[in-house]
Structure 1
Amino acid sequence: MATTDRHTTTLALAHALSAAERGLAVIPLSRSKLPALRSPHHGDPHPTALCHGECGRPGHGVYDASTDPRRIRELFAAAPWASGYGIACGLPPHHLIGIDLDTKTGTDASAGLRELALRHLFTIPGTVVVITPSGGRHIWLAGPPDVVIPNSAGRLAPGIDIRGAGGYLVGPGSRTEHGVYSTVPGTAHLPPAPCPPALLRLLTPSRRAHRHTPPHSAPSPGTHPSPDPTPHQQGQGLVQFVLAAHEGQRNTRLFWAACRAYENGIGETLSPHLIDAAVCVGLTEREARSTIASAARLTGHA
C-alpha cells in the first residue's frame, strides 16, 4: 500500500476538519482519489454487500462521511496514508450537487455547460469552484432537501459529470497522484449556491420523464379539438420571441429559439428568418450565424 508523508496527511486532515465546520461531511481519500479505508467486508466468506456502515466498522466509503471532528480524526488515524478528503454529496444541510467539468474527454465541457445554460435559460450563480489538477472544474451547488439527484457521467453533455446522492467530490487542498485540488480565487468562502430550477429539472430524470406531450384525449361532445400549430405558425412564434429580446437577452433568446427550431425539424428553413430577427434587435449577422451554428451542434444537426 502506498505511503504518504505525515505532513501531507496532517494537511489533508486540517482541510477536512475545516470543511466539516461548514457542514460538509468528509472521508479520507488516497492519492488515487478513492476512499482510503478498505471495506471491512473484503475477503469475508459471506460479505454483507448492503452494509452501509451498520456493522460499526469504518471502510464503507461515502457512508463513513461525517462532520463530527472526533469521528473524522478517527477515520484519518485509521488511514495514515490518506492524502486528501472527499466531500459527500446529497447530505444536509447543503444537499451538495457537484457539476464536474472534465477536460480528459477532449471536449470543452465548460462550453457545453454554457450552451445548456443558454438553451434552458439559466445562469450559474456565484459559488465555490474547485480547480482539478487536469484543469477541470468542480462547481458546487446546493439542492433542495426533497429532491434526490443521481450521479451521472456525460448524460447532460460530453465531459459533464454529476455528483449527487451517494457520490463525493474531492475536497480542495487534497493531493492526488496528478496534483493538488484548489479553489478558484475568491470562491473558497462562498456557501454552495442554490441550484437554478431549470438546471435542477435537467438533473432529475423523473421530472424529465414527464416532459413528453400527453396523447390527445377524445374531444367532449359539442367541442372541436384545437389543431396543432403548423411549422409556419411555430416558426413565426420563435421569430417573434427573438424580436422581443432586450439588450442582454438577444443571444440567449436566439440560441433558445434556434434549438427549438432544430428540434422540431424546421431549423434549416427558419434560420434565415431568425438571423434577420437577431440583426433587427442589434446582433451582427456573424454573431447570429455563430449562435445558430452552436444550436445546430447541440441538437445534433450540425
Structure 2
Amino acid sequence: MATTDRQATTLALAHALSAAERGLAVIPLSRTKLPALRSPHRDDPAPAPICHGECGRFGHGVYDASTDPVRIRALFAAAPWATGYGIACGLPPHHLIGLDLDTKADTDSSAALRELALRHLFTIPPTVVVLTPSGGRHLWLTGPAEAVIPNSAGRLAPGIDIRGAGGYLVGPGSRTDHGVYRTAPGTAHLAPAPCPRALLRLLLPPPRNPDHAPPAGAAGERHGQGLVQFVLAAHEGQRNTRLFWAACRAYEDGIGAALVEPLVEAALNTGLTEREARTTIASAARLTGHHP
C-alpha cells in the first residue's frame, strides 16, 4: 500500500473514532464511498439467507456499524485499504437523518429545499453541514426514535436524496477518488439539530392510498383491523416502528381516535408496555397534526 493510502487510512480511523465518541456508529469506506469490506456471503450457494451480521463476520455494510472503539479498530484492520468512513443513519442515540443536496448542472437542490421550506412552513435549524468534493452539502438532522425514515433519491425534490434507516453518510475527513469531505466552517461544533416536524412528515413513507378519501363504514372497520393486525405481526425490534406507522396511517385516514385503544391492546400483545404504546401513538398524533 502506498504511503499516502496508509496515511489516509490512519486519518480515516482517527476521524471515525472521534465520531464514535459523539455516539455516531461508523464503518470503513473505500475511495469509491462504498463499504470497504465485501460480503462474507458472496460465494455462498444461492439462494443464501439474508444475514445482517448474525454470522459474526464483517462485511455486512451498514449493519457492521459500531461506536465501540475496539470493534472499529478491528473493522479498519480488516480493511487496510479504507480511506474514509460512513456514519450509519437511524440508529440511537441520534437517529440521524441526512439531507444530501446534490449539485448538477440542471438542478438547484438548495433552491428546491428553500421552496419546500416556504411551502410547508419550516426552517432548517443550525446544524452540522458537510461539504462534498463535488460541491454538494450534507445536512445532519435527528428524528424521533419511533420514526423510521426510508432512504430515497429525488422523492422529496429533484437533487435532494435522503439518508435514513439502513443508509449512511460519508463522514467528514473521508478521502475519496474525487476529494475530501469537510465540515462546513462554523458547524463542526454543532450537534445534529432536530428535524422540523413539517419536514419530518414529508420524509415519512406516504400513506398507502393517498388519493382516496378516508375509509368509512365497513371499509373503515376493515382498514382499522388491518392496521391492528399489522401491529400484532411485529417481531422484537419492529414493535415501536410498526405501531408508529399504523398510528400515523390511522390519523391520516381519519380513524386515529377510534383506533387508539385497539392499537394499544395490540401493542401490549407484542410486548410493549402501555406507557410505551400510548407515548408512540401520541407522537404519531402530534406528527400528523392531531391532538393525542
How many angstroms apart in 2 are the aligned matches of 1:97 and 1:158? 18
Amino acid at match of 1:201: R
How many angstroms apart in 2 are the aligned matches of 1:168 and 1:28? 11
Amino acid at match of 1:108: D
Give, in angstroms, the shift of residue 18 of structure 1: 0.3
CA RMSD of aligned residues (A): 2.1
In our comparison, the structure showing a higher alpha carbon Rg is 1
Asked if 1:176 corresponds to 2:182, the answer is: no
Deviations 1:179-235 (A, max 9, x none): 000011111121110000000000002469668653788xxxxxxxxxxxxxxxxxx
How many angstroms apart in 2 are the aligned matches of 1:32 and 1:3? 19
- Which position in structure 2 is the counterpart of 1:198? 198
- Which position in structure 2 is the counterpart of 1:98? 98
Amino acid at match of 2:194: P
- Which position in structure 1 is the counterpart of 2:86? 86
- Which position in structure 2 is the counterpart of 1:239? none
Give, in angstroms, the shift of residue 47 of structure 1: 5.8
Asked if 1:56 corresponds to 2:56, the answer is: yes
Gaps of 5+ in 2: 218-292
Give, in angstroms, the shift of residue 106 of structure 1: 2.7
Change (3 A) 1:47 1:175: farther
How many angstroms apart in 2 are the aligned matches of 1:51 and 1:180? 32
How many angstroms apart in 2 are the aligned matches of 1:168 and 1:186? 23
- Which position in structure 1 is the counterpart of 2:147? 147
SS, match of residue 15 in structure 2: helix
Change (3 A) 1:2 1:100: farther
Amino acid at match of 1:67: T
Asked if 1:120 corresponds to 2:124, the answer is: no
- Which position in structure 2 is the counterpart of 1:130? 130
- Which position in structure 2 is the counterpart of 1:7? 7
Aligned residue-pair number: 217
SS, match of residue 162 in structure 2: strand
Give, in angstroms, the shift of residue 105 of structure 1: 6.1
- Which position in structure 1 is the counterpart of 2:16? 16
Deviations 1:225-253 (A, max 9, x none): xxxxxxxxxxxxxxxxxxxxxxxxxxxxx
Give, in angstroms, the shift of residue 5 of structure 1: 1.8
How many angstroms apart in 1 are the aligned matches of 2:47 and 2:84? 28
Contact 1:100 1:137 (8 Å CA) reproduced: yes
How many angstroms apart in 1 are the aligned matches of 2:199 and 2:208? 11
Contact 1:23 1:67 (8 Å CA) reproduced: yes
SS, match of residue 99 in structure 1: strand
How many angstroms apart in 1 are the aligned matches of 2:37 and 2:210? 41
How many angstroms apart in 1 are the aligned matches of 2:28 and 2:139? 21
Contact 1:41 1:47 (8 Å CA) reproduced: no
Structure 2-normalised TM-score?
A: 0.70
